Structure 1
């Protein structure tokens, strides 16, 4: 058992160290001082019951330094005033704003339907998706436009983090989420993309049609981001890039309730069984094992099956490289205050991974007032 624990811990330390070095080698990108010429961008915002948030996002869009864009807000049968707010805002908006009301028909993936129908009427060369509860900076669009033109990327993934943390629970979510953003960015840089986030995702409209859109995984409630990225990456081997730019950061609110957090993470974890590529599934299993190992090591030491020095080595091989990597990501995301919470997150995370790894085996979850599978 000792050899197994040390091998897994060593592999994880090497893996995390590679991610850390890879992150440092991703060049930071800054938008030009004036970006008035470039591709037309269609911002697609699928929403459901976002009356308390959508106006803030529309205000952010009205302050963009890049003006060659239109916005489609696809309202998925909201039961609050979301659609009315968007329609009212459209009457005086400084940009082209099109509300798109969707019928309340039953579908396996409401968000994929909203994006697909939005793209069908979009006039932009680039599609840029975000969520109704997000906030963006004034150079958000300029960053994506300049980067896509510069690199010719077919799909560009942008950074996402949370708004200001008010509780320890918020800070824990920030650290955990930063690990996903950082890992996804590094695997893109290495040419083997594994994950991205639909709250800040840009792709060429023609490429969406080329790969058949969401066909093949439209029966899944989740995956409008990652599965599409994998399809595009399969066709364009060097076509998926990460935009490492502070101006491109999208911010959203952390979950305030355990139930909301649970349903979102269960929705994310449930995707891994549907991956066609073995790499994301193998990576998920590897991360699961790496988080089980420290727990097993501590139990082994407590039951006198494992030497104390070996236990400390197993734990150190996980915690030290992980801290260095997470700190770098948090600093980039302008979340330096959350660095102090990394050790607490590392303490909780193995049990978190175990819990959601098992929870993902069950089907169904509640999301946006609906029961989905």
Structure 2
């Protein structure tokens, strides 16, 4: 058994070294000059019950250095003040903002429905999607437009990370801490020490997904992307049939579309390695919401038509199961301790090198310190969610979906 575990761990180490070197060789994008006659962009923001955060994103968009864009906020029957906030913003924003109230109808994939209906009204050459709880920098759209002009990419995946815990922001700015209170400039109410640690652990885990997705794109075999920072040509969305064929699946408005685009344009999918393009979103503060999201993500792998993402999902599962099995075998007394250490070292050292590089790029150096803790917990996490995804159903935005 130990020889099989070491073989799996050695293959995983080689894979991790491959994507680490790929990341290092991937040049950071810098525009060669000013954007002249840049593409028109329609930013689509599907939302449901985002009253607490949508205003920050709309304010961020008012500070964009690129001005050839319009915004559609597709409100999916919010039960809070999300739509009213967007309508109020529409009257005073310097850009064209169009709140789009959606009918409260039953849908297997509410987010895909929101994006599809928005694209039908979009006037931009490019579609850029993000989420209502995200924050973007002033050069976000400029970096997308410049990268598109220079590469002609059909689909562009951008970097996503988690925002800094608000407790840290209060301390850095010398403010008094008022638990439960959110003010402009703070991403969340004050967080406890355990919540900050939980957010940092999620930051490391999420960085691994963003980094590995970026590297597989650079290798010409795209596997993952994130709809919180995604750009594609409107005509290409129509060419590949939009979400047809995957619209019965609640998740995957990003990855399934990317695979369809890659199938038609094998060299047309690119990752935008630029700090100007980073989008930040919010880490989960409760285990229940974290569980529902990760179960939703893990449930997608069975629906992939391309063989590579499915094989990679199984390989990652086995690679993370190997140290769990090895430690269990050592505790039960039938595996040698040195062999168990070899299994853990093969995985741990190469992972650390890769994750540190991604976190530094994402400007999340404080999270580097919790990489070892994440590595201890992650194998159990992957095994748990790999098994949990075999069950059907999860909650999303207050709805039970399949």
**Which TM bucket (shorter chain)?**
over 0.9
CA distance, structure 2, for counterparts of residue 6 and residue 16 of structure 1: 15
SS at match of 1:156: strand
Look up the match of 2:385.
356
SS at match of 1:212: coil
Q: Is the counterpart of residue 57 in structure 1 residue 83 in structure 2?
A: no
Compute the displacement of 1:31 (Å). 4.3
CA distance, structure 2, for counterparts of residue 210 and residue 116 of structure 1: 13
Compute the displacement of 1:138 (Å). 0.1
Look up the match of 2:86.
86
Look up the match of 1:160.
160
Look up the match of 2:39.
39
CA distance, structure 2, for counterparts of residue 63 and residue 33 of structure 1: 21
CA distance, structure 2, for counterparts of residue 300 and residue 109 of structure 1: 42
CA distance, structure 1, for counterparts of residue 318 and residue 394 of structure 2: 25
Compute the displacement of 1:26 (Å). 1.1
SS at match of 1:71: strand
**Contact residue 41 and residue 126 of structure 1 kept, 8 A:** yes
SS at match of 1:334: coil
Look up the match of 1:96.
96
SS at match of 1:64: coil
Compute the displacement of 1:283 (Å). 0.6
CA distance, structure 2, for counterparts of residue 30 and residue 371 of structure 1: 43
RMSD (Å), alpha carbons: 1.0
Look up the match of 2:251.
222
CA distance, structure 2, for counterparts of residue 30 and residue 133 of structure 1: 27
Question: Which has the higher mean CA deviation after the structures are superposed, 239-248 or 161-170?
Answer: 161-170
**Contact residue 327 and residue 339 of structure 1 kept, 8 A:** yes
SS at match of 1:276: coil
- Please identify runs of 4+ aligned residues in structure 1 that moved more than 4 A: 31-34
Look up the match of 2:296.
267
| Number of equivalent positions | 373
Change (3 A) 1:135 1:32: farther
Look up the match of 2:284.
255
CA distance, structure 2, for counterparts of residue 47 and residue 370 of structure 1: 13
Aligned pair partner of 1:336 in 336, 355, 365: 365
Q: Is the counterpart of residue 234 in structure 1 residue 259 in structure 2?
A: no
Look up the match of 2:107.
107
Look up the match of 1:4.
4
CA distance, structure 1, for counterparts of residue 129 and residue 82 of structure 2: 18
CA distance, structure 1, for counterparts of residue 341 and residue 133 of structure 2: 42
**Contact residue 41 and residue 68 of structure 1 kept, 8 A:** yes
**Contact residue 36 and residue 66 of structure 1 kept, 8 A:** no
CA distance, structure 1, for counterparts of residue 127 and residue 239 of structure 2: 14
Look up the match of 1:73.
73
Look up the match of 2:120.
120
Compute the displacement of 1:92 (Å). 1.1
CA distance, structure 2, for counterparts of residue 32 and residue 262 of structure 1: 43
CA distance, structure 2, for counterparts of residue 139 and residue 252 of structure 1: 17
**Contact residue 160 and residue 200 of structure 1 kept, 8 A:** yes
Q: Is the counterpart of residue 213 in structure 1 residue 242 in structure 2?
A: yes
Compute the displacement of 1:36 (Å). 5.9
Provide the TM-score with structure 1 as the length reference: 0.99
CA distance, structure 1, for counterparts of residue 106 and residue 380 of structure 2: 36
CA distance, structure 1, for counterparts of residue 200 and residue 380 of structure 2: 17
Query: What are the Cα deviations for residues 115-152 of structure 1, in whole angstroms up to 9, with x where unaligned?
Result: 00000010000000000000000000000000011001
Provide the TM-score with structure 2 as the length reference: 0.92
CA distance, structure 1, for counterparts of residue 36 and residue 44 of structure 2: 21
